[in-house]
Amino acid sequence: MDANTNKIKNMIERALADGRLSRQEDEDIKAAIGADNKVTEEEMKLYRELQQLVFQGDILIDD
């Protein structure tokens, strides 16, 4: 796992620590994924896993 992917993973873990994902946290995570103008398969996998948690209702979206 490269440094940017590790950073994104840590951001997701911190964001989900309270069982909620704010819209700002989501935007920050997406910005970090695109920051280097490259989206790796591993970064997309992390984001898809995050989305799946939201879709399943395991994580709530906060405004």
Instruction: Per-residue pLDDT tens, the chain, 63 aa: give them.
Output: 888 899 999 999 999 999 999 999 999 999 999 999 999 999 999 999 999 999 999 999 987
Q: How many domains does the chain have?
A: 1
Tally Cβ neighbours within 10 Å of residue 43. Answer: 22
In one-letter notation, the amino acid at residue 18 is D
Of the candidates 23, 27, 31, 33, the one whose C-alpha atom is nearest the C-alpha of residue 60 is 23
What integer pLDDT is reported at residue 63 of this predicted model? 76
| Domain span at 30 | 3-56
Please check whether residue 50 lies inside any domain of the structure: yes
pTM over 0.85: yes
Please check whether residue 63 lies inside any domain of the structure: no
Please check whether residue 12 lies inside any domain of the structure: yes
In one-letter notation, the amino acid at residue 59 is I
What integer pLDDT is reported at residue 1 of this predicted model? 82
What integer pLDDT is reported at residue 59 of this predicted model? 95
Quote the CA–CA distance of 3 and 20 in Å, as a whole number: 25
Structure-block tokens of residue 34: 């695109």
